[in-house]
Chain A
Amino acid sequence: MLTSILVISGLAAAFGLLLGYASIRFHVEGNPVADKLDGLLPQSQCGQCGFPGCRPFAEAVACGEAQINACPPGGEDTMIAMAEMLGVDPLPMGEDGGGEIETGIAVINEEECIGCTLCIKACPVDAILGATRQMHTVIASECTGCQLCIEPCPVDCITLESIEKTTETWSWALPGSPEDIADAAKAVKNHE
């Protein structure tokens, strides 16, 4: 009886010491979980999650202070990726963030732009080119579609344009996917 107690206690002590040593020796600086989560996020820096940027949101999720379904631009894919990484259950989108996410590129109507630089100051990724009383324009390749520039514009000259598919950006639909089924149905209809 005594031997078994001694043995178990001895083992517990040994493993405890080992774990303690490992936690000190192999301690990781920084917050690798937040880094990895930040890598999954779409980097629109739009603030729709309630945090001032993607990195603060990632850190909040890593600490458990934010829900993983709060990122509308990331959509369901990002939420599921985060759920997998953290080992938690996926949450339905639309609880905190919007349901349908509009993606697109901001476009400034140059006829109406007055050169006030309010949108330039609002853009979180500096994707608007311009200066005071000079024409403003959106650098299309860098625009993340976060829509933060649309509100500040005093003349409402910024719109979100959806990205049209061209022959360059089109791709074959995955067989069995909704697009594929729609394609097939359209083809049958055209033929009739």
Chain B
Amino acid sequence: MLFRNITSPHTIRPNDVTTIMLRVILALVPGIITMIWLFGWGILINIAIAIVTAIISEAFCIKLRGRPIMPALSDLSAIVTALLFAIAIPPLLPWWQTVFGMAFAIIIIKQMYGGIGYNPFNPAMSAYVLLLISYPADMTSWVSPIVLNENPLSFMQTLAAIFGGLVPAGMTWDSLSGATPLNSLKMALNQNQMISEIRTGPLWQGMIGGYGWEWPSVAFLLGGIWMIYKRVITWHIPVSMLGTLFLFGLLFSLLDPEAYPFGLFHLFSGGAILGAFFIATDPVSACTTPRGRLIYGASIGALIYIIRTWGGYPDAVAFAVLLLNMSAPIIDHLTQPKVYGHGSKK
């Protein structure tokens, strides 16, 4: 009898890229829902714009490279990038900026380096940084959840704002948008206000991370823990990153509680938790060895604290991640595990 010829091992494979990406998307859902509830329809519309742009850009590039489109798109990695990018940008960002950023991320940062698995930089964060540097005013004007609470924007109104730049009657852009809690904290600190004073403001009202930012962070934390349980990511990067950030916050706030916010604040404000579980753990651009991952996460945490406290930008997750993406290969090279049979020397 004649048989077919295949290569070993001959087993039913348990893992699959599409399944991994689906799980990431699933873990993002609670956080996204929370954000929509707090920040309005803008988040959802941005997600839609980003996904459409990502798919079109990726299909375009794959076609240019002469590869079949469906297998390449079916790994859902473009959709995950789109989601992460859409969550990071302000809800009312003009649509063309979203498109521009997303196209940049997919075409230049991902496909031009070789496609999935070959990009040294995190595409979502690269796009975020591009927009932040190019359009700083638009990128730092977030919608205030408190304002939205009193004057919720309907779906159509949000569409008009994003696509047309129109605000509903009776409101102005200034009244609608405002700085993030991190941003306002930084500005206030620069004016030598004290932490205890700042925290009596309306954005804080007894919250740890600032109104509108705390609850999504908790939701992302739950999603992240589920991903670790499902072995989509390992614990090394989130724990080392958040741990270092918290430690720095603790140390400095003990030194001078009025000049530096306390540890937990740093964890729950801004994109720290989103970054720890979803962005820094992007396997393609992160470190791969266990010890390397600990160093990678810790360095990101430290950098986030440094840039937030003494740097020019309010939130530092994107910059810290990109800087460490550059360093990942050398960290990997220096942290190789001890191979069986090689004794104490490498």
Which A residues fall within an 8 A CB radius of B? 172, 175, 183-184, 187-188, 190-191
Report yes or no: A190 in contact with B7, Cβ–Cβ below 8 A.
no
Report yes or no: A187 in contact with B4, Cβ–Cβ below 8 A.
yes
Nearest Cβ in chain B — how far from A6, in angstroms? 40
| Chain B, range 1-33, C-beta contacts under 8 Å to A | 2-7
- Inter-chain residue pair count (beta carbon < 8 A): 13
Report yes or no: A191 in contact with B2, Cβ–Cβ below 8 A.
yes
Q: Please classify the interface of chain A as helix (H, G, I), strand (E, B), loop, or mixed, using the class held by over half of its residues.
A: helix
In the complex, A172→B4 CA distance in Å? Answer: 17
Report yes or no: B7 in contact with A175, Cβ–Cβ below 8 A.
yes
Report yes or no: A191 in contact with B4, Cβ–Cβ below 8 A.
yes
Some 13 contacts from A to B, beta carbons below 8 A apart, are A172-B7, A175-B7, A183-B5, A184-B5, A187-B4, A187-B5, A187-B6, A188-B4, A190-B2, A190-B5, A191-B2, A191-B3, A191-B4
Residues of A within 8 A of B6 (CB): 187
Residues of B within 8 A of A184 (CB): 5
In the complex, A188→B2 CA distance in Å? Answer: 11
Residues of B within 8 A of A187 (CB): 4-6
The residue on A at minimum CB distance from B8 is: A172
Residues of A within 8 A of B4 (CB): 187-188, 191
Nearest Cβ in chain B — how far from A47, in angstroms? 43
The residue on B at minimum CB distance from A186 is: B5
5 closest pairs, A vs B, by CB? Answer: A187-B5, A191-B4, A191-B2, A187-B4, A190-B2
Residues of A within 8 A of B2 (CB): 190-191
In the complex, A191→B3 CA distance in Å? Answer: 6
Residues of B within 8 A of A191 (CB): 2-4
Residues of B within 8 A of A175 (CB): 7
Residues of B within 8 A of A188 (CB): 4
Q: Mark B308-336, 1 if CB is under 8 A from A, else 0.
A: 00000000000000000000000000000
The residue on B at minimum CB distance from A175 is: B7
In the complex, A49→B146 CA distance in Å? Answer: 82
In the complex, A184→B3 CA distance in Å? Answer: 13
In the complex, A187→B3 CA distance in Å? Answer: 9
User: Of residues A172, A175, A187, A188, which shows the largest number of chain B Cβ atoms within 10 Å of its Cβ?
Assistant: A187
Residues of B within 8 A of A172 (CB): 7
In the complex, A184→B6 CA distance in Å? Answer: 8
**Extra pairs beyond A183-B5, A187-B6, A190-B5 (10, CB < 8 Å):** A172-B7, A175-B7, A184-B5, A187-B4, A187-B5, A188-B4, A190-B2, A191-B2, A191-B3, A191-B4
Nearest Cβ in chain A — how far from B225, in angstroms? 37
In the complex, A68→B4 CA distance in Å? Answer: 45
The residue on B at minimum CB distance from A190 is: B2
In the complex, A163→B2 CA distance in Å? Answer: 29
In the complex, A44→B289 CA distance in Å? Answer: 44
The residue on B at minimum CB distance from A188 is: B4
Nearest Cβ in chain B — how far from A173, in angstroms? 10
In the complex, A175→B6 CA distance in Å? Answer: 12
In the complex, A183→B4 CA distance in Å? Answer: 11
Nearest Cβ in chain B — how far from A20, in angstroms? 36
The residue on A at minimum CB distance from B5 is: A187
In the complex, A187→B6 CA distance in Å? Answer: 9
Residues of B within 8 A of A183 (CB): 5
The residue on A at minimum CB distance from B3 is: A191
Nearest Cβ in chain B — how far from A144, in angstroms? 34
Residues of A within 8 A of B3 (CB): 191
Nearest Cβ in chain A — how far from B117, in angstroms? 15
Residues of B within 8 A of A190 (CB): 2, 5
Nearest Cβ in chain A — how far from B10, in angstroms? 14
In the complex, A191→B6 CA distance in Å? Answer: 12
The residue on A at minimum CB distance from B7 is: A175
In the complex, A4→B3 CA distance in Å? Answer: 82
Nearest Cβ in chain A — how far from B71, in angstroms? 16
In the complex, A191→B5 CA distance in Å? Answer: 9
Residues of A within 8 A of B5 (CB): 183-184, 187, 190
Residues of A within 8 A of B7 (CB): 172, 175
User: Of residues B2, B5, B6, which shows the largest number of chain A Cβ atoms within 10 Å of its Cβ?
Assistant: B5
In the complex, A188→B4 CA distance in Å? Answer: 7
In the complex, A191→B1 CA distance in Å? Answer: 10
In the complex, A150→B207 CA distance in Å? Answer: 91
In the complex, A1→B295 CA distance in Å? Answer: 51
In the complex, A190→B4 CA distance in Å? Answer: 8
In the complex, A60→B219 CA distance in Å? Answer: 70
Nearest Cβ in chain B — how far from A183, in angstroms? 7
In the complex, A50→B3 CA distance in Å? Answer: 52
In the complex, A187→B4 CA distance in Å? Answer: 6
Q: Mark B271-303, 1 if CB is under 8 A from A, else 0.
A: 000000000000000000000000000000000
Nearest Cβ in chain A — how far from B9, in angstroms? 13
In the complex, A146→B62 CA distance in Å? Answer: 47
| Chain B, range 31-55, C-beta contacts under 8 Å to A | none
In the complex, A50→B2 CA distance in Å? Answer: 53
In the complex, A184→B7 CA distance in Å? Answer: 10
